[in-house]
Structures are given as structure tokens and as C-alpha cells.
């Protein structure tokens, strides 16, 4: 387990608490409770970002852009395989997604680059 300093531990604990409560709300299958708990979870995560001097909105925007770029790369690879998005099963799309994610994390490809198949 990762050690977190005393300044961050309460904030991380709050995120974990809100995540547990969100899971419980999901299990209850009550849409209002789910929405309420997800809101609390998001608030706790924004607090964690602030505690770490991270612009939460900017971090979310960057992650959204990364997701869009990777999704387009998956679509491109499927096209290169002669398939439309709706023709691929989840297992094949996950395989492509995970390979692209690994390439990006290793610095082998930028988020904007397309797979080389």
C-alpha cells in the first residue's frame, strides 16, 4: 500500500469514504441516491486536487482529451482491420485500448498518434 503524508491522509480517506457510499447507493439502485453520492464523490476528488495544487477542471479536461484521442485511435485501428466500431466486440476493443494505453504510458506514442498496424 502507498504511504500518504499526514496532510493528505484525511482528504484521501474522505474520497475513499465517498466511494464506498457511492457503491452502496449503486447497490440500492436508487437514482437520486446514486446522483447524490456521485456528487459528494466528485466534490471530495476536487478537494483532493486542490490539496495537491492541481487544477481539477484542467485535469479533467486533459483526461477527457486523452480519452477522445485514444478512442479515435481505437476506431482507426478497427478501420485498418476492416471493421466498423459496431462490428467489434468489447474484448477486441479492450485489447486495442489497453495496448494503446500501455504505449502511451511508456512514452512510445503520443495520445494523438494512431496505432501502427
* pLDDT, position 114: 38
Q: How confident is the model at residue 3 (pLDDT cuts 50, 70, 90)?
A: confident
- Pairwise CA distance, residues 36 & 42, whole Å: 10
Residue pair 70/104 in contact by the 8 Å Cβ criterion: yes
Instruction: State mean pLDDT over 76-86.
Output: 91
* pLDDT, position 108: 54
pLDDT digits 0-9 by tens, 52-67: 999 999 999 999 999 9
Indicate the domain borders of the chain: 9-54, 57-105
Instruction: State mean pLDDT over 30-40.
Output: 98
- Pairwise CA distance, residues 93 & 86, whole Å: 10
Q: In b/e form, how buried is each residue of 48-61, taking b as 16+ CB within 10 angstroms?
A: bbeeeeeeeeeeee
pTM: 0.74
Place of cell 504511504: 3
Amino acid at each position: 500500500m502507498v504511504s500518504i503524508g499526514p496532510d493528505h491522509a484525511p482528504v484521501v480517506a474522505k474520497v475513499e469514504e465517498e466511494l464506498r457510499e457511492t457503491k452502496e447507493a449503486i447497490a440500492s439502485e436508487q437514482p437520486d441516491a446514486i446522483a447524490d453520492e456521485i456528487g459528494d464523490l466528485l466534490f471530495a476528488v476536487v478537494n483532493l486536487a486542490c490539496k495537491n495544487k492541481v487544477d481539477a477542471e484542467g485535469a479533467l479536461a486533459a483526461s477527457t482529451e486523452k480519452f477522445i484521442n485514444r478512442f479515435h485511435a481505437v476506431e482507426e485501428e478497427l478501420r485498418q482491420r476492416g471493421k466498423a466500431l459496431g462490428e467489434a466486440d468489447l474484448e477486441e476493443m479492450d485489447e486495442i485500448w489497453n495496448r494503446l494505453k500501455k504505449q502511451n504510458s511508456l512514452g512510445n506514442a503520443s495520445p494523438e498518434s494512431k496505432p501502427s498496424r
